[in-house]
């Protein structure tokens, strides 16, 4: 059996004009060895896999792909337009599951492509283990995300700031088409290219949209809603993507490109961990503003096909983007009120959330554990919630809650919205450091804890604790290693 036999491959993306891809084979990996395999995901995808031993032998010889390719795209990186493309990832095709769902299967870290520029096309073992861990954690947190099917260890030496061991990741996603793919078509391709991409994307991701003269504007609206729902969910769990460039915003509304991402501990909207984000552009609290900006880039890319009249196109696109703030506020506050057990989308109650966040920021309270203390009366913030500075807020919350929903409804809402366990930065780093030295036990335990993040798990208090402040102050994440 060969690697491609695992999948039921189709290549619909290759029906787009040639400008959208370049055919490329993954370069041979030196002594590849399957290190991690996501059996649960393999089953969800209905892969043709008799047993785990098969996975080991099949995935240890990546490289027999008939039509593998790299995708072309552009994007705004930290606000600046750049022509990009898959520089270190190769698509081996689209897997069609037994119930007819379509997923891109990509190898990340598989060698250079036409779009590698000065990069080596490789990835480090640590970064691929990190992506596997966080993407799977996000999935179990019930946040739309790319998935990780396998990490393949190689004998490759990868040079970054120091010498690293190389690895490849098998990434699975509904689609890797991004805002940047549309920017590429619009700014560097022809009108026909942009039309073809729009029709293809609608058929693949939003088939309910009719292909009439309003299709582009409907696509813009649908993507805006999908992205708002996604980023609201990031805010819910304290996730900081870290590099929300337009090439990392998926049209499908999935989280992807886990480079310098991290989770916030003490609540502070200006939290940033990424070493390259000097101006805090992608700070936790900026994420709504940035996704709106990215959606404006998407709208701009669609302008040539929204209407034949340029001015009319601008007006129609602007109308959609102008709705962002209203929709954002409703979805964001509804979610935040859910975190404190209140089922309401009445804007009269929004102030309760703003006040809570001010208290949390002023008292440097742990974001996850504040809600945990509120819903389960456990964790590091239990005491703070009983202190004088918090009691007026608690009383106000109780009054609203009692007037709106039952305690049982509140309990259910809080359970659904508040994770007990998130990937704590210091635990992630510790697990990765041990894993790259060859001891996978801590890493696997962390994966296990994070596979049930909404359930309290006995004897796992260690995983609830935020790190020492000094760790957080000095913690830095790195992009694309
Ligand atoms: P990212 O910051 O991961 O979104 O990457 C931005 C662009 O740089 C994408 O086009 C990547 O494919 C490319 N890139 C990142 N790392 C490498 C690498 N080691 N070799 C080649 N291209 C890379
Ligand atoms: Mg990227």
Residue 149 dihedral angles phi and psi, to the nearest 5°: -90, -35
CB 356 within 8 A of CB 349: no
Q: Which one of 87, 110, 131 would you pick to mutate in the ligand 1 pocket, going by the greatest count of ligand atoms within 8 A of its CB?
A: 87
Whose alpha carbon is nearest atom 12 of ligand 1? 87
Q: Give the pLDDT band (50/70/90) at residue 4.
A: confident
CA of 53 to the centre of ligand 1 (A): 32
Ligand found nearest the CA of 250 = 2
Specify the ligand 1 atom closest to the Cα of 122. 19
Q: Whose CA is nearest to atom 1 of ligand 1?
A: 480
Q: Which of 247, 257, 307, 366 is catalytic?
A: 247
pLDDT reading at 56 higher than 80: no
β 9-10/89-96 pair status:
antiparallel
pLDDT at 471 over 90: no
Ligand in nearest proximity to the CA of 131 = 1
Residue 463 pLDDT grade (very low, low, confident, very high; cuts 50, 70, 90): very high
Secondary structure letter of residue 347 according to DSSP: G
Q: Which ligand is the nearest neighbour of the Cα of 282?
A: 1
Distance of alpha carbon 422 from alpha carbon 236, whole angstroms: 11
Instruction: Read off the DSSP letter of residue 222.
Output: H
Any residues with CB less than 8 A from the CB of 217 and at least 6 apart, and which? 302, 306, 316, 317, 320
Q: How far is ligand 2, taken at its centre, from the CA of residue 413, in Å?
A: 34
Q: What is the pTM of this model?
A: 0.97
* 403: number of Cβ within 10 Å: 9
Which of the listed residues 76, 82, 88, 112 should we mutate to test ligand 1's pocket, taking the one with most ligand atoms within 8 A of CB?
Answer: 88
Q: What is the mean pLDDT of residues 464-469?
A: 87
Distance (angstroms) between ligand 2 centre and the Cα of 300 equals 20
- Nearest-ligand number for the alpha carbon of 86: 1
What is the Å distance from ligand 2's center to 73 Cα? Answer: 10
Closest residue by Cα to atom 2, ligand 1, is 480
| Minimum CA distance residue for ligand 1 atom 21 | 119
- CB neighbour burial string for 22-44, b if at least 16 within 10 angstroms, e if fewer: eebbbeebeebebbbbbeebbee
* 480: confidence class by pLDDT, cuts 50, 70, 90: low
Within 6 Å (CB) of ligand 1, which residues are found? 84-88, 115-116, 119-122, 243, 247-248, 257, 259, 479-480
Q: What's the rounded Cα separation, in Å, for the pair 249 and 213?
A: 25
Calculate how far, in angstroms, residue 373's C-alpha sits from the geometric centre of ligand 2.
36
Among 73, 114, 119, the mutation site with the greatest number of ligand 1 atoms within 8 A of its Cβ is 119
**CB-based contact 359:393 (threshold 8 Å):** yes
**All structural domains of the chain with their residue ranges:** 2-173
Average pLDDT over residues 116-127: 96
Residue pLDDT, tens place only, 162-210: 999 999 999 999 999 999 999 999 999 999 999 999 999 999 999 999 9
Give per-residue pLDDT as tens, 262-315: 999 999 999 999 999 999 999 999 999 999 999 999 999 999 999 999 999 999
247 is catalytic: yes
């Amino acid at each position: 059996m060969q690697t491609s036999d695992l999948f039921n491959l189709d290549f619909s993306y290759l029906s787009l004009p040639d400008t959208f891809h370049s055919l490329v084979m993954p370069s041979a990996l030196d002594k590849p060895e399957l290190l991690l395999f996501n059996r649960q995901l393999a089953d969800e995808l209905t892969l043709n896999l008799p047993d785990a031993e098969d996975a080991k032998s099949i995935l240890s010889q990546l490289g027999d792909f008939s039509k593998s390719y790299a995708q072309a795209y552009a994007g705004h990186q930290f606000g600046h337009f750049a022509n990009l493309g898959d520089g270190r990832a190769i698509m081996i095709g689209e897997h069609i599951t037994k119930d007819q769902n379509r997923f891109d299967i990509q190898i990340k870290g598989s060698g250079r492509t036409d779009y590698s520029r000065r990069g080596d096309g490789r990835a480090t073992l640590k970064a691929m283990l990190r992506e596997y861990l966080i993407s799977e954690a996000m999935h179990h947190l019930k946040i739309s995300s790319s998935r990780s099917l396998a990490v393949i260890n190689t004998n490759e030496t990868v040079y970054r700031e120091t010498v690293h061991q190389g690895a490849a990741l098998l990434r699975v996603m509904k689609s890797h088409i991004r805002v940047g793919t549309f920017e590429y078509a619009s700014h560097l391709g022809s009108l026909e290219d942009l039309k073809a991409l729009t029709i293809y994307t609608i058929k693949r991701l939003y088939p309910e949209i009719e292909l009439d003269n309003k299709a582009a504007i409907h696509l813009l609206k649908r993507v805006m809603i999908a992205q708002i729902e996604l980023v609201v969910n990031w805010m819910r769990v304290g996730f900081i993507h870290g590099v929300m460039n337009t090439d990392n915003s998926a049209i499908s509304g999935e989280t992807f490109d886990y480079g310098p991402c991290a989770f916030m501990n003490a609540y502070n909207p200006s939290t940033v961990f990424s070493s390259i984000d000097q101006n805090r552009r992608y700070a936790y609290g900026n994420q709504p503003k940035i996704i709106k900006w990215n959606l404006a880039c998407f709208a701009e890319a669609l302008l040539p096909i929204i209407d034949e009249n340029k001015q009319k196109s601008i007006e129609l696109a602007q109308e959609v983007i102008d709705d962002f703030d209203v929709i954002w506020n409703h979805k964001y506050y509804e979610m935040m009120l859910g975190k404190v057990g209140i089922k309401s989308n009445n804007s009269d109650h929004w102030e309760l959330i703003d006040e809570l966040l001010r208290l949390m920021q002023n008292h440097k309270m742990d974001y996850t554990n504040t809600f945990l203390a509120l819903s389960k009366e456990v964790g590091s913030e239990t005491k703070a919630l009983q202190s004088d500075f918090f009691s007026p807020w608690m009383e106000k919350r109780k009054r609203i809650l009692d007037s709106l929903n039952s305690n049982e409804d509140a309990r259910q809402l809080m359970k659904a919205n508040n994770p007990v366990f998130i990937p704590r930065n210091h635990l992630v780093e510790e697990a990765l450091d041990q894993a790259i030295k060859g001891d996978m036990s801590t890493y696997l335990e962390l994966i296990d804890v994070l596979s049930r993040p909404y359930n309290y798990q006995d004897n796992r208090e260690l995983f609830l604790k935020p790190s020492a402040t000094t760790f957080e102050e000095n913690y830095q994440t790195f992009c694309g290693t």
